[in-house]
Structure 1
Amino acid sequence: MLQIEDVVRDRGSRYAVSGGPVAGRKGADAFLADLKRTKKYAKATHNTWAAVFSDGGPVRNDDGESGAGAVILKMIERAGLVDHIIVVTRWYGGVHLGGDRFAHVVTAVRAYLAELEQSG
């Protein structure tokens, strides 16, 4: 599992990004369960994620952050990642960010993909 914490801070909200290889929906569910074993991730406001499975196609979950899963999915598809999950975690800081939240999701996923490329 690759994790990058404190990717973005804006008006009290904090963002982190995590990801790794997974096999199908069960693998994604296991990845999320493992991530949430860490108390701060379990208590996060949103753990938005997406993946493209070789045996089931694209899957995304906004986890209450409407539209964010689609942003992650589009970036995964562009990067050509298959059987790999990316999770963007947000801890809400009390101020609505409007459209800026999508820019922060993009920033988090870009940071993850850059780190993945360096370590790969």
Structure 2
Amino acid sequence: MSEAYKTVYIGDTAEIVEKKSRFIANLEHVESEEEALAYIETIRKKYWDARHNCYAYCIGKKQELKRCSDDGEPSQTAGKPMLDVLTGAGLCDTVVVVTRYFGGTLLGTGGLVRAYTAAAKAGVEASEVIEKIPAVQFLVKVTYNQIGTLLYLLGQRGYSQLESEYAEDVSVRFLVPLTERASMEKQLLESFQGSAKTEIEDYGYYAKNGKELLLFEEEV
């Protein structure tokens, strides 16, 4: 599995005005180039009367695929600065489209770079960005007398509990960062002296908003 990476969880819109020209940034989470291109086309249709719809996107957990377009603006004044914003923020699987409505005043190459950079940054700040962390899904079965110890252990480590099932024994599913798997297995062994039944069910990525679990995606 890859290392932790950042992406847009919920994309949003932001707008700046520079010498009466409007720059409208729209961001979205995408997981393929096809999704990115489809989103770009959606924005083009929405702002069909705009002079420019410039874009940039990074696809892959390590930003393996990067593309950008100036869409008629002078070369290197729009798409590349926007791409630099995405890569500088460490964003993966993200597309940004900045729409420009011309205000009648030429900005020059330097002015365009600054405007498109500022618009893309405003879009990132308006969006909800999360960090996806490689994780292991544990299933641990303990007795009713042991459940308090297990829950205390999970609370100490700040792990996200997915679900609990109270039957003959108590089964608890929870997430452990991949880097902490070995230490967690050791602590479970020591805490329950080998009596707890432990199983690794899945590998994937999780993200949190504070203490709230936003998602757990299984690794494909």
Check whether TM > 0.5.
yes
Q: Distance in 2 between matches of 1:35 and 1:86?
A: 10
| Unaligned 5+ runs, structure 2 | 1-10, 131-208, 210-220
Matched length:
116
Letter in 1 for 2:114: A
Letter in 2 for 1:24: S
Out of 54, 63, 88, the residue aligned to residue 48 of structure 1 is: 54
1:12 maps onto 2:20 in alignment: yes
The aligned counterpart of 1:22 is: 30
Shift of 1:117: 4.2
Assess if the C-alpha contact under 8 Å between 1:18 and 1:88 holds in 2: yes
- Secondary structure of the equivalent of 2:72? coil
The aligned counterpart of 1:75 is: 85
What TM-score, normalized to structure 2?
A: 0.48
Shift of 1:113: 1.5
Letter in 1 for 2:34: K
Deviations 1:60-79 (A, max 9, x none): 11111221111011110111
Shift of 1:45: 0.9
The aligned counterpart of 1:100 is: 111
Shift of 1:22: 1.3
The one of the two structures with greater contact order (alpha-carbon pairs below 8 A, sep at least 6) is: 1
The structure with more radius of gyration: 2
Letter in 2 for 1:35: I
Moved more, 28-37 or 81-90: 28-37
Identity %: 29
Shift of 1:56: 5.1
After superposing on structure 2, the runs of 4+ consecutive aligned residues of structure 1 that deviate more than 4 Å are: 117-120
What TM-score, normalized to structure 1?
A: 0.84
| Unaligned 5+ runs, structure 1 | none
Assess if the C-alpha contact under 8 Å between 1:61 and 1:69 holds in 2: yes
Question: Any residues of structure 2 matched to 1:79-90 within 5 Å, and which?
Answer: 79-90=89-100
- Secondary structure of the equivalent of 1:17? strand
Deviations 1:39-71 (A, max 9, x none): xx1121111111111185111111112211110
Structure with bigger strand share is: 2
